[in-house]
């Protein structure tokens, strides 16, 4: 498969997944801030910091407010991580490889983008964005299902899976991270004072409440964090995403099981192995936010390695000239950042 085609499919999937998770991130933030009657710090400033886009937000809106954050994360064309911008980039990537994807996929992403574009003209959404955010999530599910059912599960499909799963692992960690930031606004350090309603809101934000209750029944802080980070069977847990991404990367490489791993396989395998043997009580005792920072940085490194292995133009093919595509990608790079203690960002997006 041409690297250009693989690149576009990979980022098409990542941007669709990112749009959905920005909706989830914003929805849970709106729900939790309603319960902060007397916060000890500004919750909206903490939310902006958790996205890693605080500098851009400040340049465009100044002080962090509810309305400003909602606009910034939904329809701001100047933010590469707004829902509208993510879908515009996903649509452009899909358009560039229409012959490699199904017509149903193209129609799906086009309809999805036009729905959000039309919604951006409706100012009433800002007062109560919950229904809109739910529609964004459902539209993403529809596109993922269409992809699975109408695209041959070959190399291109695995590139899409790889992009989607890496993005989902990263964004699940950021949704948990945002909840920890909001909890700090209550004046608690490690989230040990999470009440049940807050934990239920967190589970709902990743559509995990029903599956969690089937597994554990009673709501507790440690069990919820363990389910979202370490659950082997739940498709939005970080562990599940890492394991499945590792499988797709192996399918793409096509190497025999006893072959030496590539740099990308080594980095991803290291992350996945860490989660195979992690214990949630130990992670909580050491501090979840520093741990989530390390995971996000590790995912960034995996993304860069995948870019270098599959998408960057070989210097020999350009007669020794610098890789202008890689330079453009680096200069255009902007993505969801990390936690309060880090400004780590996602791996290099393609110039579209």
In this prediction, residue 329 has a pLDDT band, given cuts at 50, 70 and 90, of very low
pLDDT at residue 54, rounded to an integer: 85
pLDDT of 331 > 50? The answer is no
Tokens linked to 160? 């899409």
In this prediction, residue 184 has a pLDDT band, given cuts at 50, 70 and 90, of low
Exposed / middle / buried, residue 260 (Cβ in 10 Å: 0-12, 13-18, 19+) = exposed
Average of per-residue pLDDT values in the chain: 84
Q: What is the mean pLDDT of residues 281-297?
A: 92
Tell me how far CA of residue 33 lies from CA of 56, 101, 172, 283, in angstroms: 22, 41, 19, 26
Write down the H helix ranges in the chain. 3-33, 43-51, 54-61, 66-74, 83-96, 103-119, 130-150, 155-185, 196-205, 209-215, 221-230, 238-253, 263-276, 280-286, 288-306, 324-332
pLDDT at residue 352, rounded to an integer: 41
Decide: pTM greater than 0.75: yes
pLDDT of 174 > 60? The answer is yes
Question: Which of 64-78, 224-238, 319-333 bottoms out in mean pLDDT, i.e. has the lowest?
Answer: 319-333
pLDDT at residue 195, rounded to an integer: 76
H/E element, 123: none
In this prediction, residue 34 has a pLDDT band, given cuts at 50, 70 and 90, of confident
Q: Which residue carries 């701001």 as its tokens?
A: 76
Q: What is the mean pLDDT of residues 90-100?
A: 96
Are residues 129 and 26 in contact, defined by beta-carbon separation less than 8 angstroms? yes
pLDDT of 347 > 80? The answer is no
Q: What is the mean pLDDT of residues 119-125?
A: 93
Query: In Å, how far from its chain's centre is CA 197?
Result: 24
Are residues 144 and 228 in contact, defined by beta-carbon separation less than 8 angstroms? no
Tell me how far CA of residue 98 lies from CA of 159, 209, 290, 312, 350, in angstroms: 15, 37, 41, 21, 17
Are residues 120 and 75 in contact, defined by beta-carbon separation less than 8 angstroms? yes
pLDDT at residue 38, rounded to an integer: 52
Tell me how far CA of residue 293 lies from CA of 173, 288, 339, 345, in angstroms: 9, 9, 6, 10
Residue 346 φ/ψ region, left for φ over 0, alpha for ψ in the -120 to 50 degree band, beta for the rest: beta
Residue 207 φ/ψ region, left for φ over 0, alpha for ψ in the -120 to 50 degree band, beta for the rest: left
pLDDT of 349 > 60? The answer is no
Question: Which of 39-43, 58-62, 136-140 bottoms out in mean pLDDT, i.e. has the lowest?
Answer: 39-43
Which range, 29-43, 48-62, 172-186, 321-335, is most confident? 48-62
CA distance 203 to 166: 20
pLDDT at residue 173, rounded to an integer: 92
């Amino acid at each position: 498969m041409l690297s250009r085609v693989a690149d576009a499919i990979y980022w098409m999937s990542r941007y669709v997944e990112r749009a959905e998770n920005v909706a989830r991130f914003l929805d849970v933030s709106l729900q939790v801030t309603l319960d902060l009657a007397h916060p000890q710090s500004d919750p909206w400033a903490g939310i902006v910091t958790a996205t890693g886009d605080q500098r851009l937000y400040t340049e465009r809106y100044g002080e962090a407010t509810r309305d400003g954050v909602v606009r910034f994360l939904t329809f701001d064309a100047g933010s590469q991580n707004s829902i509208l911008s993510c879908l515009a980039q996903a649509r452009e990537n899909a358009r560039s490889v229409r012959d490699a994807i199904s017509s149903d996929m193209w129609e799906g992403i086009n309809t999805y983008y036009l729905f959000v574009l039309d919604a951006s003209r409706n100012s009433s959404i800002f007062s109560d964005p919950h229904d809109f955010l739910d529609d964004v999530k459902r539209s993403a599910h529809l596109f993922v299902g269409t992809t699975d059912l109408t695209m041959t599960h070959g190399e291109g499909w695995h590139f899409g899976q790889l992009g989607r799963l890496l993005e989902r692992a990263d964004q699940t960690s950021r949704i948990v991270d945002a909840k920890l930031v909001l909890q700090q606004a209550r004046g608690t350090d490690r989230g040990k004072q999470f009440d049940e309603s807050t934990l239920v809101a967190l589970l709902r934000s990743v559509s995990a409440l029903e599956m969690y209750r089937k597994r554990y029944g009673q709501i507790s802080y440690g069990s919820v964090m363990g389910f979202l980070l370490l659950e082997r069977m739940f498709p939005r847990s970080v562990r599940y995403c890492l394991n499945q991404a590792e499988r797709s990367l192996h399918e793409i490489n096509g190497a025999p099981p006893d072959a030496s791993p590539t740099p990308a396989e080594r980095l991803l395998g290291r992350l996945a192995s860490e989660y195979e043997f992690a214990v949630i009580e130990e992670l909580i005792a050491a501090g979840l936010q520093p741990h989530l920072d390390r995971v996000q940085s590790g995912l960034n490194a995996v993304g860069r390695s995948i870019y270098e292995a599959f998408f960057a133009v070989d210097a020999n093919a350009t007669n020794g000239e610098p890789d202008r595509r890689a330079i453009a990608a680096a200069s255009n790079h902007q993505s969801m950042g990390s936690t309060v203690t880090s400004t780590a960002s996602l791996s290099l997006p393609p110039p579209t």
